[in-house]
Structure 1
Amino acid sequence: MDMSKQELNERVKPIMSPTKREWTNIDKTIACLLFFLHALCIFAPFNFTWNAFWVALILYSITGLFGITISYHRNLSHKSFQLPKWLEYLFAYCGAHALQGDPMDWVSTHRCHHQFVDTDKDPHDRNQGFWFSHINWAFDSYHLTKKVCGKYFNDSKETKRNLFTLVMKHERPDNVKDLEKQIFYTFIHKTYILHPIALAIFLYMVGGLPFVLWGMVK
């Protein structure tokens, strides 16, 4: 079936170059953190131990499989199945240590993606190009916030430069009200960064630098 001119215009958008837009402070912060985490990988081979390797493998399974795939994606975003609340919260807490954001943030973005897939409102619209749809969208907090939480968005220069632009998205979220009603998810949202830091400290106390390098940069 041929698309109408309006539908075609909605789907075909000019590719946004990351060098031709204004980077917010939070974009720069996220980029620096990702660069730092990847830079740590350089030191991992020089701090290899089998115990650290098994820690990485176990944490990858716990945070990636149970946390992101089962909890964030299938259970919370798509509601593919239900879990007992204690198990739902446990899996979601595992996901909070995968360094992909808190449950409310991740789920909101993913639901928005499926609701507006491949349109201008898609947070990682593939029409913006390969790199944008895979990674550059994560450094576009201004437009990401505007897409996911448009009706609450204050389009001002002050907001655009605010380090905490993304916080607006889930103080009054558009599409995660089911999570917002639960104290557990609002608590994780407001204290998110403390949990990976606590994990890193725990790993260091148990196994030193090798556990941190292999456990956190898994």
Structure 2
Amino acid sequence: MWRVLGRTWNIQDVFTLAVILALHSLCAFAPFHFNWPAFWVAVTLYVVTGLGLTLCYHRSLTHRGLRLPKWLEYLFAYCGVLSLQGSPIEWVSNHRYHHQFTDTEKDPHSPIQSLWHSHIGWIFDTRRRRCEHLGGLKNVEELKKQPFYRFLFRTNFLHSFALGGLLYAVGGFPFLVWAVGVRTVLLFHATLIINSVGHMWGKKPWTPVICLQTIGGCQLLRLEKNGIITTMLLNTQLDMGWKWWQIDITWYVIRFLQAIGLATDVKVPTEIQKQRKASNGRIMATQK
């Protein structure tokens, strides 16, 4: 245990910091080790692992906005593990607490503390990342009951290390730089930017305080902002593209899976629900 920067760091915190620094260091080699095969493998893995996060971790497991056959759910979940953003159990638990305590002191990555903390600082505090101050993983009992998710929780990092070894064997150092370093870092910050920038700047589709409800996996957050930056990087809008100009690739994939019968019980807000939320928002705004 070490006391640094005003708090105690354990061995897990140091390991997380080392992994993040190593990934960013790999990116420094990108201009010198570029080739098209490495680039396209990185793009493919970015999309696949990104869908693992946005479609499976987020909308299916966290918010139960749709159902997938178990084999497909597990496949998407495994893709999410390869993003190096945590196992489904840890990620879903953290995100549920985030919605429960959005932008308060209890929020695992609240912007109230600082932009740095909400973006990446919280990642280096394992106890806060696993929400031990809120009771830990008690809010994901349905995932903890499934052997597959318990296995991913215990072996989280090993899968990405194995993927890195495979990529190096196939394409050498350029594949490692682009398909592991660049791909992982871009997706990492695309996700984290929603926690930080997405809660501080941009247009607010819903006003504070009232935005607590989840309608069909579509989050109505307290201070969440609907920004073009998050759309471009993460290919997902938190309101699932309710306006014609809001691009949401994850939602398009869900609709495709629904059309071929692989996504069922897809929940979406009705026009009446959206209008009621907008009306309540305007009332709350005038009261303020």
Which bracket does the TM-score occupy, shorter chain normalised?
0.7 to 0.9
The number of aligned residues is 179
Q: CA deviation at 1:130?
A: 1.1
Q: CA deviation at 1:144?
A: 3.8
Structure 1 residues 102-113: aligned runs within 5 Å: 102-113=87-98
The answer (yes or no) to whether the contact 1:63–1:95 under 8 Å persists in 2 is: yes
Q: CA deviation at 1:101?
A: 0.8
Give the AA of the match of 1:120. Answer: E
The CA RMSD measured in Å over matched residues stands at 1.5
Q: Which residue of 2 aligns with 1:48?
A: 34
Give the AA of the match of 1:41. Answer: C
Q: Distance in 2 between matches of 1:30 and 1:51?
A: 29
Residues 22-41 of structure 1 show CA distances to partners (whole Å, capped at 9, x for unaligned) of 22222222112111110111
Q: CA deviation at 1:143?
A: 3.6
Residue 142 of structure 2, aligned match among 178, 183, 207: 178
Q: Distance in 1 between matches of 2:5 and 2:59?
A: 35
The answer (yes or no) to whether the contact 2:88–2:149 under 8 Å persists in 1 is: yes
Asked if 1:191 is matched to 2:177, the reply is no
Q: Which residue of 1 aligns with 2:180?
A: 216
Asked if 1:32 is matched to 2:10, the reply is no
Unpaired runs of 5+ residues, structure 1, are: 1-17, 152-168
Q: CA deviation at 1:190?
A: 1.0
Asked if 1:81 is matched to 2:81, the reply is no
Q: Distance in 1 between matches of 2:72 and 2:32?
A: 37
Q: Distance in 2 between matches of 1:120 and 1:71?
A: 27
Q: CA deviation at 1:148?
A: 4.4
Residues 20-63 of structure 1 show CA distances to partners (whole Å, capped at 9, x for unaligned) of 22222222221121111101111121111100000000000000
Q: Distance in 1 between matches of 2:128 and 2:164?
A: 31
The answer (yes or no) to whether the contact 2:56–2:77 under 8 Å persists in 1 is: yes
Q: Distance in 1 between matches of 2:129 and 2:82?
A: 22
- TM-score normalised by L of structure 2: 0.59
The answer (yes or no) to whether the contact 2:106–2:134 under 8 Å persists in 1 is: no
The answer (yes or no) to whether the contact 1:40–1:213 under 8 Å persists in 2 is: yes
Aligned partner of residue 25 in structure 2, secondary structure:
helix
1:86–1:112: structure 2 CA closer, same or farther, 3 Å change rule?
same
The answer (yes or no) to whether the contact 1:108–1:148 under 8 Å persists in 2 is: no
The answer (yes or no) to whether the contact 1:104–1:179 under 8 Å persists in 2 is: yes
Q: CA deviation at 1:117?
A: 1.2
Q: CA deviation at 1:141?
A: 2.1
Asked if 1:90 is matched to 2:54, the reply is no
Give the AA of the match of 1:52. Answer: A
Structure 1 residues 69-148: aligned runs within 5 Å: 69-145=54-130, 147-148=131-132
Residues 113-164 of structure 1 show CA distances to partners (whole Å, capped at 9, x for unaligned) of 101112222101121111111111111223444x44644xxxxxxxxxxxxx
Q: Distance in 2 between matches of 1:101 and 1:144?
A: 10
Unpaired runs of 5+ residues, structure 2, are: 184-288
- TM-score normalised by L of structure 1: 0.78
Q: Distance in 2 between matches of 1:121 and 1:131?
A: 17
Higher helix share: 1
Identity of aligned residues (%): 50
Asked if 1:204 is matched to 2:168, the reply is yes
Structure 1 residues 162-173: aligned runs within 5 Å: 169=136, 173=137
Q: Which residue of 2 aligns with 1:19?
A: 5
